[in-house]
A and B are shown apart, each in its own frame.
Chain A
Amino acid sequence: MSMGNEQLEYALHLADNALILGQRLGEWCGHGPVLEQDIAMTNIALDYIGRARLLYQYAAGMCAPESTEDQLAFMRNEWEYRNVLLAEQPNGDFAQTVARQFYIEAFQIDYLKALQQSGDATFSAIAEKSIKETAYHFKWASEWVIRLGDGTDVSHRKMQDALETLWPYTGELFREAPYESWMRKNLNGPDLAALYTAWSARLQPVFTLAGLELPAGQWMQEGGKTGRHTEHMGYLLAEMQFMQRAYPGLEW
């Protein structure tokens, strides 16, 4: 990957977020808490894999002529992945998966609306398509936060724990990486800091209905956007990249 190309890096950031979330949700396939939810989570995973493909294809077009979506998805080094740390966090129990999706989908609704207004026609078109998917994902996640928060003592505790566990990874969503400022300045990309209020406003009513406490921690983890990941990422990539690494350059 040639560095210094902000637009490419930005495309990879979006693509990696989608792929890693899709990969994590795909891990649930066959192991969901109830058959109907297995199907629901796979649907969300499929939305993300589809979105990742569109973005990698766009990114591949910006790279060397022989670059492909799969090369970008499977053949980069860990420090070249630009996804946020939140995306790579393990599924944990069902509450933790719900919490991860809840934070990130709440963010994406307004983020994608802003991206749709950007000066890059491809990003804008992908954002337009993704907004509809995200509206459904957010509905799914918030309903589960409410159900689990309100449901039983056990589920209330698990949901609160999960929201606390992942809270320190939410700050990164609003911290601008260099390629994001470039995108904002040159192609009218989303202004992250400005999205914070909207995000909080989406969380608040759900927490209230769920009877849950908004985590109060101030210290935030970051690094994923610039390639410094958590320890989970190495295992995720080892598994995901296995075929392409073991048998490089083949058709499947």
Chain B
Amino acid sequence: MPAQLFEERIEGEEKIEPRDWMPEEYRRTLIRQISQHAHSEIVGMLPEGNWVTRAPSLKRKAILLAKIQDEAGHGLYLYAACETLGVSREDLLSELHSGKAKYSSIFNYPALSWADMGAIGWLVDGAAIMNQIPLCRTSYGPYARAMVRICKEESFHQRQGYEIMLTLSRGTEVQKQMAQDALNRWWWPSLMMFGPGDADSVHSLQNLRWKIKRFSNDELRQRFVDMTVPQAELLGLNIPDPLLRWNPDRNHYDFGPIDWDEFWNVVRGNGPCNRERLHDRVNAHEEGAWVRDAAIAHAIKQRNRQAPVAS
């Protein structure tokens, strides 16, 4: 009976809220997806965080700080959405820190030059936005609301990245090289961000049916390529794919095969920065433990000091 009602509500585009009945598998899927998304935001702060202290101008330093700060905020909104499903942030973080939980593999690639700040904003945030906009209509209320907020804030992220690329591509030869090199390194990992092809995606179908996801991985990936190729042309940069060409029959760009071995290898922990990223997160958390403990100890002492008066 509740199961049927649940399916009807999903069918009728009605949102599911935290205290509503939901199938256990729906809850588990949401926890997995939302927490992965939250972890990605938090780990995603690290490659860019590398360049805060080296940003080439005061304006860029401020923009970069504000952008990374947004990512912290987005992680926070998403952890909070996840907590409505009955798991604590502390539990979710333990899963991240133990290596059990996944996050977007893209952040296991290194940010080597200033142009990477441009490429990350343009491509990585661009791909993320493709994924995220449909999620504003996802069936779980708190997740959808978090995504609305995130998409609204995220709108400057991609633009600032593209603006960096634009400045570089109109600059000196060295700046152009920097931009091209960043595009070369970030292009394929960005395409991988949409996840395995529909034929190989384990979770896709059920997630679409429950309206947790709204479009398939391959649909979104194609949309991303179609949108990005003309943007690269405008920059005068070459997308590192010899098979990339416009297909008038499909009305889409065809593109070369994705190296899924590389993808799975990075997912399994063998990307260039997997260890560093996880180490940074674990370290920040462990070194912050005494601070968090102190704050709660002080709060308890305060309450006890006030208690006799209040009662």
Chain A residues packing against B (C-beta within 8 Å): 19, 22-23, 26-27, 29-39, 42-43, 45-46, 49-50, 52-53, 56, 69-70, 73-74, 93-94, 146-148, 150-152, 154-155, 158, 239-240, 242-244, 247, 250-252
Q: Which of B59, B164, B175, B288 is most buried by chain A, counting CB atoms within 10 A of its CB?
A: B288
Q: Can you list, as one digit per residue, whether each of B280-311 has a CB less than 8 Å from chain A (1) or not (0)?
A: 10011001111111111110011000000000
Given contacts A26-B65, A39-B72, A73-B58, contact A32 B284 (CB under 8 A): yes
Which one, A33, A38, A151, A250, contacts B175 given CB within 8 A? A250
Which of these binds chain A: B2-10, B49-57, B97-105, B180-188? B49-57
B79 within 8 A of A: yes
Q: What's the nearest-Cβ distance from chain B to residue A54, in Å?
A: 10
Which one, A46, A52, A69, contacts B69 given CB within 8 A? A46
Q: Can you list, as one digit per residue, whether each of B28-60 has a CB less than 8 Å from chain A (1) or not (0)?
A: 000000000000001001100100111111111
Given contacts A30-B68, A35-B76, A250-B171, contact A155 B291 (CB under 8 A): yes
* 7 closest A-B pairs by CB: A33-B288, A151-B294, A155-B294, A243-B56, A30-B49, A33-B291, A252-B56
By a CB distance below 8 angstroms, the chain B residues around A70 are: 56-58
Q: Is the CB of B52 within 8 A of A27?
A: yes
Chain B residues packing against A (C-beta within 8 Å): 42, 45-46, 49, 52-62, 65-66, 68-69, 72-73, 75-76, 79, 114, 164, 167-168, 170-172, 174-175, 280, 283-284, 287-298, 301-302
Q: Which of A29, A49, A74, A239 is most buried by chain B, counting CB atoms within 10 A of its CB?
A: A29
Between A and B, 24 residue pairs with Cβ closer than 8 Å are A19-B58, A27-B53, A29-B65, A29-B68, A30-B46, A30-B280, A31-B280, A31-B283, A32-B288, A33-B288, A35-B76, A35-B79, A42-B68, A49-B65, A50-B62, A74-B57, A147-B298, A152-B297, A154-B290, A154-B294, A247-B172, A250-B171, A251-B170, A252-B167
Q: Is the CB of B46 within 8 A of A69?
A: no
Q: What's the nearest-Cβ distance from chain A to residue B150, in Å?
A: 14
By a CB distance below 8 angstroms, the chain B residues around A49 are: 58, 61-62, 65
By a CB distance below 8 angstroms, the chain A residues around B290 are: 152, 154-155, 158
Q: Is the CB of B49 within 8 A of A31?
A: yes
By a CB distance below 8 angstroms, the chain A residues around B55 are: 243
In the assembled complex, the Cα of A38 lies from the Cα of B288 at a distance in Å of 11
Given contacts A34-B288, A243-B55, contact A42 B65 (CB under 8 A): yes
In the assembled complex, the Cα of A22 lies from the Cα of B61 at a distance in Å of 10
